[in-house]
Structure 1
Amino acid sequence: MVRVGLQVSANLENIDELQTNHPNYAFFVKVKCSNCGEVSEKWHDITEAERTQEDSRNPEGFNFYIKCKLCSRGNSIDIVEKSNATYTQDDSGTFKTIVVFDCRGVEPIEFSPRSGWIVRAADNGQQFEDVDLSEDDWVEYDQKNKNSIGVYEFASKFIKLKK
């Protein structure tokens, strides 16, 4: 089992917090089989609130289960409970781990942020829900504080974590 952290980086303008709609946020990832190296071409979604019962060896199920097309090995990923973190203004411009995946036989290699993010404007400003970061930039107007807010240069990467 390997633990992999999803790290994100963005420049935040007049924003206190950027976070996922945990535990219902769907992390869209492309994965690679650790056994044979096969990389999936399609995007797969992993949601902590959802479990699949694809394998009888684990009666609790998994957040994500896939059988490799090349080597037929059964692989799974679970989101580590309470590993979700908020990206804040203090983190702006740096990479921070926002979620940890417990990977067995498969690892995420690419992330697509899509919609489902929550943005809290600075100075007790508006809260925006279901924000779409698929374009890597997002701009809105905070009516409460009468200023523009934005998420710019969104980037992500996966890192292997020590246990």
Structure 2
Amino acid sequence: MVNFMLYITAELENLTNFQPKGGVDDPNFTYYFKLKCENCGEVTDKETCVSLSETLPLAKKGSTNLIQKCKFCKREGTVTMIPGRGSPLTHDYSETGKYAPLMIFDCRGFEPLDFAFSSGWKVESLEGTKFEDVNLDAGEFAEYDEKGECGVMISNVRSMFKVVDLSKKNF
């Protein structure tokens, strides 16, 4: 079992608290990323989708959010989401180029790669205007904040997966 934390960052112009629409533990938010088989190294052609609201029973005990077979070697692997450890990307983090932790994935048999930003995000202006259901399929978002009388923008969205030790709190 290896736990991977998904970290995100972006350039936030006059914006803060960038996160999934229902918060960092939004059960309906869908994460899209490719998977690499830890047995043979095959990478999925398309992104796999995983959300907290979709669970499958495991053969022995418990549940998981994804059970998938590698197309090449036919080995089965699972991805289980672990909520409660993420936080929104703030303006301060964005300004300093830091990444915000978003979600932990307990991966067995697979390694997550290449997170794809899509729709279902929310962010708020520094003046408090909320922008809901932000779509980042094109890689950026631009709007005008009437209250703050300024343009707002999300650009240069980036992500990375890092192995984390759940017994330590320093991630």
Q: Could you say whether these structures have the same fold, taking a TM-score greater than 0.5 normalized by the shorter chain as the test?
A: yes
Indicate yes or no: 2:126 matched with 1:122.
yes
Over residues 58-100 of structure 1, what are the superposed CA-to-partner deviations in whole Å (9 max), with x where a residue is unaligned? 3x43111101122222101111121232111111022222111
Q: CA deviation at 1:110?
A: 0.9
Instruction: After superposition, give the CA deviation of every residue in 1:32-64 in whole Å (9 maximum; x if it has no partner).
Output: 0111111100111110121124x4223x43111
Matching of residues 1-163 of structure 1 within 5 Å = 1-21=1-21, 22-53=26-57, 55-58=58-61, 60-92=62-94, 93-124=97-128, 126-163=129-166
1:116 alignment partner AA: G
Q: Aligned-pair distance for 1:15?
A: 0.8
Q: 1:123 to 1:140 in 2, by over 3 A?
A: same
Letter in 2 for 1:35: N
Unaligned runs of 5+ in 2: 167-171
Distance 2:14 2:44 in 1: 37
Contact 2:18–2:122 (CA under 8 A) maintained in structure 1: yes
Instruction: Give 1:116 deviation, angstroms.
Output: 0.5
SS at match of 1:91: helix
Check whether the contact 1:136–1:155 (CA below 8 A) recurs between aligned residues.
no
Give unpaired runs (5+ residues) of structure 1: none
Shift in alpha-carbon separation, 1:19–1:82, aligned structure 2, 3 A: same
Instruction: Write the letter of the residue equivalent to 1:3.
Output: N
TM-score of the two chains, using structure 1 as the length reference: 0.91
Does the Cα contact within 8 Å between 2:4 and 2:164 map onto a contact in 1? Answer: yes
What is the letter of the counterpart of residue 135 of structure 1? A
Three-state SS of the structure 1 residue aligned to 2:56 is coil
What is the number of equivalent residue pairs in this alignment? Answer: 160
| Distance across 1 between alignment mates of 2:85 and 2:79 | 14
Q: Output the CA distance in 2 between the equivalents of 1:83 and 1:48.
A: 14
Structure 1 runs (4+) greater than 4 angstroms displaced? none
Q: Using the aligned pairs only, state the percent identity.
A: 33
Q: TM-score, normalised by structure 2?
A: 0.87
How far apart are the structure 2 equivalents of 1:81 and 1:95? Answer: 18
Q: Alpha carbon RMSD of aligned pairs, Å? A: 1.4
